[in-house]
Structure 1
Amino acid sequence: MSLRRFRLTILTLAAGVVGIAQAQQAPADNLNLRYANGIVAIAEDKIITVDDVRREIGPLIGELQKQARNEQEFNEKLEGLQNEVIQNLIDRVLIVKEFYKDEKRRVPASYIDNQLAETIITQFEGDRSKYLAYLRSRGISQKEYRREIEEDMIYNFMRQQQAKSGSTVSPVRIEDYYNENKERFFQEDSVHLRLIQINRTPEDTDDTLRAKADAVIAEMDGGATFPDVARKYSNDPRKSRGGDWGWQRRPDLRKEFSDVIFELKKGERSKPLITAEGAFIFYAEDRKYAGNMPIDDVRPDIERALVQQGSRRATERWLEKLRRNAYVKHF
């Protein structure tokens, strides 16, 4: 059969889905308006229908509605999502075809069996009757559904393989990225802060508060750790965490606090600060000084970003090549 006759045959088969698509009530989307005959695309010998697209989009509609601020924005996001799903469905066909170009490649039946069993458990609560009812609702056989699972496995495997091909990053590339983007790695002066708070009572004077704080400090001077003493004496809401407030920047703190805290070096403890609320003792668990972070501190982050970037590019180049050499008709 010539390629032209083959394509005409596919178009004739595609027309057969029109009656089915029109007989079903459309959900609240514009797919029936965009694709009045119920056909979205043909990729190689595969007909992609409106129902195929809806099945992929359905679980995502709720999140889309949360993101959209109004109906117009929802419709714009929905159309963008539809286009993305359609392209993914087309790519899936092309990827599966690419997999089978190597006649030695096969997905072991045991792998498919295991995935099918897992699907019945996770998607159908382990209830085979629900699984069979789902197949009937779609009008497909168990064999056809098994084929879908196989193709899903192929699709995921092939994309992962391509992503790996772009995942090697040299130390030189990491250093170049760091030097070219130093402004991204600027850090403000910050302290990993712990504190002990002793609340002021109606009877307390500044002197009695200072005496209470000095007693707490004496316990630490005797060998107790700051976190343990904080758990024992502090009225701070994070006492159960040893008074740990994590990393704090100067602008995040009251000036009377920051003036004391940012004089501390790593491992240093402040003298008691007496305020209207009570007495405070601060501890600098760690310090970061304003300036560019050392490359060794950010190397893993840079490598991760470059690996993701390289994987995306490698996958996109591969997909573009598959698309150029494929028969795809959009409706």
Structure 2
Amino acid sequence: MKFYYAALIAKSGRLCYKKPMKKTFFFLLPILLAGAVLAPRAHAGDTQLLDQVIAVVNDEAITQSELDGLLRPLYEEYRQRFSGEKFVQELTEARRKLLNQLIEDRIVYQEAKAKGIKADAAEIDEQMDTFQKRFGAAEQMEAALNAQGVTLHGLRERLERQSLVKKLHDQEVRSKVMVSPADVEKYYNEHPAEFSQKSRVRPRSITLKKSDEAREKGLKDEQAWQKINELRVKIAGGADFAELARESSQDIQKKNGGLGDWVERGGMIEAIDQVLFQLKPGELSEVIETEMGYHLFRVEEVLPESKRSLDEVREPLTAMLYQQKIEERFNEWMDELKKKTYISIR
């Protein structure tokens, strides 16, 4: 429920805008998330199995290729976002979560079979038709499946498995979860900070970087200092801030005439934050020095601290609380199922 705004920070010798990264949840992954989910399932005792078995749930095996298929798209994403040890750590954690997901899916499917739950043939037919429409022709769809070693019959089996898992999940989890208006109001009253918006400003900036030598030795860059003070005199005398920013600024807001996004109090480096939130709309700052260079700011707009009303947040808050209760109930139920399930991770 917390609302985040871009934060202006100093990084790698430049000013940049950085948004918080969303957390990724692994919960009932879609059946077509990578080809491995469509791969044929193997029994633990299959003597012809060539793939490596990495886990066994009762008498059903989970293979390395299944896990690799799920990891493949994440691998590409993580390779772009992380490097070195951080990349290894994030990928290892993703592998752990995905393997646990595969194990839990097996457990739920086996429980559904034990309870005699049946898939809806008409529903499966509709899903098969939907998949075919994505490929345009049945031949193209069959060719794509065959390339992954999957037949149309195999796809149908996978959809039936997914249907059984969903039906049992609805029966054992969703049907037992409810969020009342009293729950919503209680959470709202007990977590006021989550619905409060700190004061915000929208600044316009000009940045002149120090020379490499000045930054490395912690010295004053006389040339950059003199130039930015000259720019300040021009702006104070009526020159157009935006035009001068486009001509002279060396930060990422240059192309926008120095205009940045909304920033909340505490969202910028301290030296800049303290100055910005003392300025009134239209007021020009003194020159601010940081490790990377010299900066001028003018605040364009100011929004005071505020709090969203219960009516404003009721719908998303209800959805959030419902999801929390779903996860809590699922975890309780899964713990019960695991107690009577043989699980071996290899």
TM-score over 0.5 (shorter chain): yes
Residues 186 and 330 of structure 1: is their aligned pair in 2 closer, same or farther, counting only changes over 3 Å?
same
Please point out which of 181, 184, 196 is paired with 1:174: 184
Name the CA distance, whole Å, in 2 between partners of 1:61 and 1:279: 44
Query: What's 1:57 paired with?
Result: 67
Q: For the Cα contact (< 8 Å) 2:202–2:263, is it kept in 1?
A: yes
Superimposed CA distance per residue, residues 13-59 of structure 1 (whole angstroms, 9 cap, x where no aligned partner)? x99943223xx2x54xx73xx76xxxx424xxxxx2x3x44343122
Name the CA distance, whole Å, in 1 between partners of 2:230 and 2:244: 21
Structure with higher Rg: it is: 1
1:123-142 paired onto structure 2 within 5 Å: 126=140, 128-132=142-146, 134-135=148-149, 142=152
**Any stretches of 5+ residues in structure 1 without a counterpart?**
1-13, 43-47, 218-225
Does residue 214 in structure 1 map to residue 211 in structure 2?
Answer: no
Please point out which of 247, 269, 273 is paired with 2:263: 247
Please point out which of 2, 6, 18 is paired with 2:46: 18
Which amino acid in the other structure matches residue 312 of structure 1? Answer: E
Aligned length: 275
Name the CA distance, whole Å, in 2 between partners of 1:125 and 1:273: 69
Does residue 309 in structure 1 map to residue 324 in structure 2?
Answer: yes
Superimposed CA distance per residue, residues 237-262 of structure 1 (whole angstroms, 9 cap, x where no aligned partner)? 3143451143143573454x545422
Higher percent of residues as helix: 1
Name the CA distance, whole Å, in 1 between partners of 2:267 and 2:146: 61
Q: CA RMSD in A?
A: 5.2
Name the CA distance, whole Å, in 1 between partners of 2:275 and 2:92: 54
Which amino acid in the other structure matches residue 147 of structure 1? Answer: E
Q: For the Cα contact (< 8 Å) 1:190–1:250, is it kept in 2?
A: no
Q: For the Cα contact (< 8 Å) 1:195–1:230, is it kept in 2?
A: no
Please point out which of 159, 166, 169 is paired with 1:149: 159
Residues 95 and 263 of structure 1: is their aligned pair in 2 closer, same or farther, counting only changes over 3 Å?
same
Give the 3-state SS of the residue equivalent to 1:178 in structure 2. Answer: helix
1:270 is displaced (CA, Å) by 0.7
Residues 216 and 160 of structure 1: is their aligned pair in 2 closer, same or farther, counting only changes over 3 Å?
farther
Counting aligned pairs with the same residue, the percent is 17
Which amino acid in the other structure matches residue 128 of structure 1? Answer: E
1:173 is displaced (CA, Å) by 1.7
Name the CA distance, whole Å, in 1 between partners of 2:267 and 2:105: 46
Query: What's 1:287 paired with?
Result: 303
Query: What's 1:3 paired with?
Result: none
Name the CA distance, whole Å, in 1 between partners of 2:177 and 2:321: 8
Residues 57 and 302 of structure 1: is their aligned pair in 2 closer, same or farther, counting only changes over 3 Å?
same
Query: What's 1:191 paired with?
Result: 200
Residues 214 and 300 of structure 1: is their aligned pair in 2 closer, same or farther, counting only changes over 3 Å?
farther
Which amino acid in the other structure matches residue 203 of structure 2? Answer: R
Does residue 269 in structure 1 map to residue 282 in structure 2?
Answer: yes
Give the 3-state SS of the residue equivalent to 1:20 in structure 2. Answer: coil
Residues 279 and 74 of structure 1: is their aligned pair in 2 closer, same or farther, counting only changes over 3 Å?
closer
Q: TM-score, normalised by structure 2?
A: 0.55
Q: For the Cα contact (< 8 Å) 1:191–1:248, is it kept in 2?
A: yes
Which amino acid in the other structure matches residue 270 of structure 1? Answer: E
Q: TM-score, normalised by structure 1?
A: 0.57
1:309 is displaced (CA, Å) by 0.6
**Any stretches of 5+ residues in structure 2 without a counterpart?**
1-41, 209-222
Query: What's 1:113 paired with?
Result: 128
